[in-house]
Structure 1
Amino acid sequence: MTLLTVWNDNDPSTPELQTRDADTIREVLAGLGARFSRWELKELPENPTQDEVLEAYRAEIDQVNADHGYSLVDVVQITPEDSDEYRSSAAAARQKFLSEHQHDDDEDRFFARGSGVFYLHVNGKVHAVFCEAGDLLSVPKDTTHWFDMGTTPDYVSVRFFHDDDGWVGNFTGSDVATKFATYDELASVSA
């Protein structure tokens, strides 16, 4: 179940809020300009292709595109394998997103399978949103944030973009992301 944890950005040891209530999560995130919603999960094959995921969620994707003007949608899938190549590529993918950054565009993600944590650093607070299958989160443009997919990433997500450049991060150089609970630590709370 989705979990929102909020800390003061200079006190990572004591959460000010921790909730699984979808209405509270939606309300808190709306105060940051972020959108949160849940979609009904669709049946997908074990290792779905991009086209299978996009077709399964066609109506929902079309609605998001119509409402928010997205022109590019793709699917990212990371599935655990017992291989050195998987461990190396998963570690590299995780590291890419762990540093605080922002984008010149909104960052919308829908989790069709699996989970990940988006950390939004806004107004002296860090808001960790542990997203699970069925969650759609939109991080507003220019919002400092980072993403943790855990040490053993396992997810399928739909990404939305306004232009063909896709994901472009503007890194802040801050080490704030190293101070807060990781995906793996929050996953133990979510279980």
Structure 2
Amino acid sequence: MSSLSVYHLSSPDLPNKVLTHFDDIAATLAEQGVRFERWQAATRIVPGASQEEVLAAYQEQIDRLMTERGYLSADVISVDEHHPQKAELRGRFLDEHRQAEDELRLFVAGRGLLNLHIDDYVYAVFCEKHDLILLPAGTAHWFDIGENPYLLAIRLFKNAHGWAAEFTGSDLASQFPRLDD
């Protein structure tokens, strides 16, 4: 079940509120300019599906977003506990960073914890299968796939080269709970 925990920067161990109802999560994030939706694949995605098969299952929705928002590229990230670089991939996303463009993630399978640093708050969004989240350009955030990851997600980019992060240099992310905590 997706959830949203909202923390004040002064209390990283105790959330101000925890939401588990989809509409409440979506409304709270919308107040911060973040889009949160649920999407269903047009066809069943089988374990071990190729990037092309995963993208094809959501092609109509992807095409609509590409036209609507000007995305130029899409990729699929797939990490599980047997991935030879799982620790490196996890470490790559754990530090607070921003992107110059909107960032969209669609969780096809698995889970992840996306933390958004907005003003004096951290919005910790536990995402899972069918969740789509769209962060506005410049939103400071970090992402945790966990020590034993299971994640299959589609990412859309306006940059034809894909993911391009600008790290903030802040240690804020280390102060908040991780996915496995």
TM category, shorter: over 0.9
Q: Mean alpha-carbon deviation: is it higher for 163-172 or for 3-12?
A: 163-172
| Number of corresponding residues | 180
Contact 2:74 2:162 in 1 (8 A): no
Map of 2:46 onto structure 1: 45
Q: 1-side partners of 2:61 and 2:177: how far apart?
A: 32
Aligned-CA RMSD value = 1.1
Q: Which residue of 2 aligns with 1:181?
A: 177
What SS does the corresponding residue of 1:152 show, helix, strand or coil?
A: coil
Instruction: Flag the structure with higher strand content.
Output: 2
| 1:12-51 superposed matches below 5 A | 12-41=12-41, 42-51=43-52
Q: What's the offset of the Cα at 1:126?
A: 0.2
Shift of 1:149: 0.5
The aligned counterpart of 2:99 is 103
Cα distance, 1:107 vs structure 2: 0.7
Match of 2:135 among 139, 148, 152: 139
Q: Which whole-Å CA distance do the structure 1 matches of 2:174 and 2:117 have between them?
A: 13
Which structure carries more helix by proportion? 1
Distance across 1 between alignment mates of 2:158 and 2:12: 34
Match of 1:56 in 2: 57
1:123 corresponds to which residue? Answer: 119
How far off its partner does 1:160 sit?
0.3
**Structure 1: distance between partners of 2:113 and 2:63:** 25
Q: How far does residue 137 in structure 1 lie from its aligned partner after superposition?
A: 0.3
- The alpha carbon displacement at 1:165 in A equals 2.5
Could you list the runs of 4 or more consecutive aligned residues of structure 1 that deviate by over 4 angstroms after TM superposition?
none
In the alignment, is residue 161 of structure 1 matched against residue 157 of structure 2? yes
- Identical-residue share of aligned pairs (%): 38
CA distance in 2, matches of 1:97, 1:25: 23
TM-score of the two chains, using structure 1 as the length reference: 0.91
The answer on whether the counterparts of 2:8 and 2:120 sit within 8 Å (CA) in structure 1 is yes
Q: TM-score, normalised by structure 2?
A: 0.96
**Offset at residue 27 of structure 1 (A):** 1.0
- Deviations 1:30-85 (Å, cap 9, x if unpaired)? 1111110001244112111000001111111112212211111111111222xxxx
Structure 1: stretches of 5+ with no match in the other structure:
186-191
Q: Distance in 2 between matches of 1:63 and 1:164?
A: 17
For residue 46 of structure 1, what is the amino acid of its counterpart? Answer: P
**Corresponding residue of 2:2:** 2
Distance in 2 of aligned mates of 1:115 and 1:27:
21
